[in-house]
Amino acid sequence: MFERLIKLIDEEDLKKIREANILLVGVGGVGGFVLECLGRSGFSNLTIVDGDKIDISNLNRQIITKLDNVGKRKVEEALNRLLEINCNIDAKIIDIYLTKENFREYINQRYDYIIDACDDIKVKVELIRYAQENNIKIITCLGTGRKLKPELLEITKLNKTFNDPLAKKLRYELRKENLSLNTLVLFSKEEAIKTEGEIGSAIFVPAVAGIMLANYVFLDLIKKDDA
């Protein structure tokens, strides 16, 4: 399956990817594309956390969704899609909403990388806390709603972000908890488009964000380029 990939990396690199223990929190607009890339790039040891079910409003941007799985559990549908692509994946699914209160019940082992694609600010804080306490690499996705220009996405440290209300809230919460702001994030430099009621969304920014997150982790694990 990975003959074309091995033309770009070597067997030892692929072994690193296969053995890496990855935690992905959230398989929505961003996380679904993260998972797609991981599954097609040799990652085999995955833990996927999401407590949501598929809603018809997800169809415009979430790759795991289609008309015939509306109402089904996201983690189960994500796993089904993953195994249809790569049957050798050893994936664990956790079908719950993580909270600050239940966090340590479910997140209590060693990971090589944590990819945070969830929307909950308190859970983001707990993931960063866990990573910093246990010296685990983590990359956190910030806001991708109300935006249309994927070319303005960037991976940087949290203390260098701007034009992102979620980043501002996260910085505030981390300071309150005496946690480092020198943590890796993906954010958009685009000013948010003002909308009434529900947050407007399109596939472009979350899809590219998911691809960028997966690519960063891939390159970092095999130490290619500047990741």
- What does each of the 227 residues of the chain score in pLDDT, given as a tens digit? 999 999 999 999 999 999 999 999 999 999 999 999 999 999 999 999 999 999 999 999 999 999 999 999 999 999 999 999 999 999 999 999 999 999 999 999 999 999 999 999 999 999 999 999 999 999 999 999 999 999 999 999 999 999 999 999 999 999 999 999 999 999 999 999 988 888 999 999 999 999 999 999 999 999 865 55
Indicate the helix (H) or strand (E) that contains 217: helix 204-222
The pLDDT score that the predictor gives to residue 223 is 87
Domain harbouring 46, CATH code: 3.40.50.720
The pLDDT score that the predictor gives to residue 191 is 94
SS3 67: helix
Q: Residue 200: inside a domain, yes or no?
A: yes
Q: Residue 191: inside a domain, yes or no?
A: yes
Which residue in 74, 59, 64 sits closest to 38, CA to CA? 64
Question: In terms of DSSP bridges, do strands 137-141 and 153-157 run parallel, antiparallel, or are they unpaired?
Answer: unpaired
Whether 42 and 3 have beta carbons less than 8 Å apart is answered as no
The conformation of residue 181, written as its DSSP 8-state character, comes to: S
Q: Residue 15: inside a domain, yes or no?
A: yes
The pLDDT score that the predictor gives to residue 225 is 58
Q: Residue 227: inside a domain, yes or no?
A: no
Range of the domain at 189: 3-222
What is the rounded CA–CA span in Å between residue 89 and residue 224? 23
pTM: 0.97
What is the rounded CA–CA span in Å between residue 126 and residue 97? 13
Placement of tokens 């599954």 in the chain: 39
Q: Residue 188: inside a domain, yes or no?
A: yes
What is the rounded CA–CA span in Å between residue 99 and residue 153? 27
Q: Residue 114: inside a domain, yes or no?
A: yes
Cα-to-chain-centroid distance, residue 6: 24
Number of domains in the chain: 1
Q: Residue 27: inside a domain, yes or no?
A: yes
